Structure formats: structure tokens, C-alpha cells
Amino acid sequence: QLRLQESGPGLVKPSETLSLTCTVSGDSVSFTNFYWGWIRQPPGKGLEWIGSIYYDGTTYYNLSLKSRVTISVDTSRNQVSLKVNSVTAADTAVYYCGRIFSGWGPYFDYWGQGALVTVSS
Amino acid sequence: QSVLTQPPSTSGTPGQRVTISCSGSSSNIGSNDVYWYQQLPGTAPKLLIYMNSQRPSGVPDRFSGSKSGTSASLAISGLRSEDEADYYCAGWDDSLSGVFGGGTKLTVL
């Protein structure tokens, strides 16, 4: 049974860096043909695709976030990580990691439970 | 403002058939597949339809998807109270970015 679990600080100060880790169990991020990705959802609002990564490091990013976002993969720990620089209140959201069903777009067939990150001083 | 356009809300009575539209452009829906998600309150979204009209295993055949040109739609027949949720369409844009609709809140009256 594939499971994904997001972890990281729930509170980040403005202008600092948001860092989250997605730990995958029940599958290997490297011995697979799947991309892995991040999607976020501000409180009470819709979904926003952040980006995706393949085990070889190939990445795709939301163009509106690309300058501030880094997604990386650690095959030894079976983890996918997300960093968002220079955060503002607009980055407050529930952040989901997921396995991408097909290709590299916002097509998760497996989701983590989500991690709420609040940007506030 | 979302790249894909969905109605903010819709409603129906038990047993009824409802449809949710998703409108895009030639660079997204017009040239790439559409996916649909169902999000129940307080939970992560669930994949409902993939590649325009395919259902993952476990999704009832009451749910169906279709695509024509630059628009797609999700149909729910035999509406049930447990179908009350937010529904999102998703796709890929040729500008190399994933895109979502703004979501449609379905109320079962």
C-alpha cells in the first residue's frame, strides 16, 4: 500500500524559506516510472499546481512560482522535498505531495494527507 | 484567477443527473487530457476521472467525463448525498505548466 506523508514546520515567518518533506512508503521514488509532485490549497480556496520531479532530477514548475520554488528528490531516503523562498502570507496553504498518475502534470492518484503551513510573524 | 473555468456552484436533488463544465483553451484542454478530482470536506482530493473519460478502479460508473474541443464536462447520475463535495478539473498547458479549474461546489438538496 503506497503511502505519502508530508512533514515540516507549520509556521514560517515572512521572507523566510518554507521547507517540506514528503516521505514515501510502499513504493520507491527511484525504481518507478512515476513523477512525484506538489500541489497546494490556500484555506477556503482552490488547488494550485506547484511542480513535479522524476527520480533523475528532471523537474517541471508552475511558471508563476518557478523563481521561488525548488523540488528535489532523495532516493536514499525515499523522499521528495519542497522549498519555497521569500514567502508571504499568500503562501499560506495546505501543501500536498503526491504520485503522478501519468506524465508530469497535476495528476495525483495517491495523495499525502496534507500539511498546513501558515506564513506569519 | 484560474486558467480553467468552472461554475462556482451547482446543485441537484437525489437521483438527479448533474453536469459540471470546465472551459479552457487550445493550449490546455484543446491539446491535452483532462482530469477530474472530488474533494470531500477536510480531506485530500481524490482522482475521479483520468484521460478525459476513464474511471480509476473503485469509482462508481455514476461518474463520467467527456471532452470536446476546448471544453470538458463531468456528469454525475443518480445523485447521492455523499456526492456533496468540491469538484476540480485539471490539465496541462503547453506553456509547460499544470493548471486547475477554480472548483465547483456541488450541493445535494
Res. A93 pLDDT band, cuts 50 70 90: very high
pLDDT tens digits for B67-83?
999 999 999 999 999 99
Mutate to test the interface with A, among B1, B3, B94, B100 (most CBs of A within 10 A): B100
Interchain contact, A105 vs B98, CB within 8 Å: yes
Res. A89 pLDDT band, cuts 50 70 90: very high
Which contacts qualify for B92-96: CB closer than 8 Å, 24 or more apart? B92/A103, B92/A105, B92/A106, B92/B28, B92/B32, B92/B33, B93/B3, B93/B27, B93/B28, B93/B32, B94/B27, B94/B28, B94/B31, B94/B32, B95/A63, B95/B27, B96/A60, B96/A63
CA distances from B48 to A21, B56, B59, B86 (A): 26, 7, 7, 12
Mutate to test the interface with B, among A53, A107, A113, A116 (most CBs of B within 10 A): A107
Average pLDDT of the segment spanning A62-76? 94
Window 35-54 of B: residues touching A by CB (8 A cutoff) are: 35, 37, 44-47, 50-51
Window 24-53 of A: residues touching B by CB (8 A cutoff) are: 46-49, 52
Compute and round to an integer the Cα radius of gyration of chain A: 13
Q: Which chain A residues have a beta carbon less than 8 Å from that of B99?
A: 49, 106
Taking the alpha carbons at both ends of chain A, their separation in whole angstroms is 39
Say if residues A12 and A118 touch (Cβ distance below 8 Å).
Answer: yes
CA A29 to chain CA centroid, nearest Å: 14
Which residue of A lies nearest to B99 if distances are taken between CA atoms?
Answer: A49
Which residue of B lies nearest to A40 if distances are taken between CA atoms?
Answer: B44
pLDDT tens digits for A21-48?
999 999 888 877 899 999 999 999 999 9
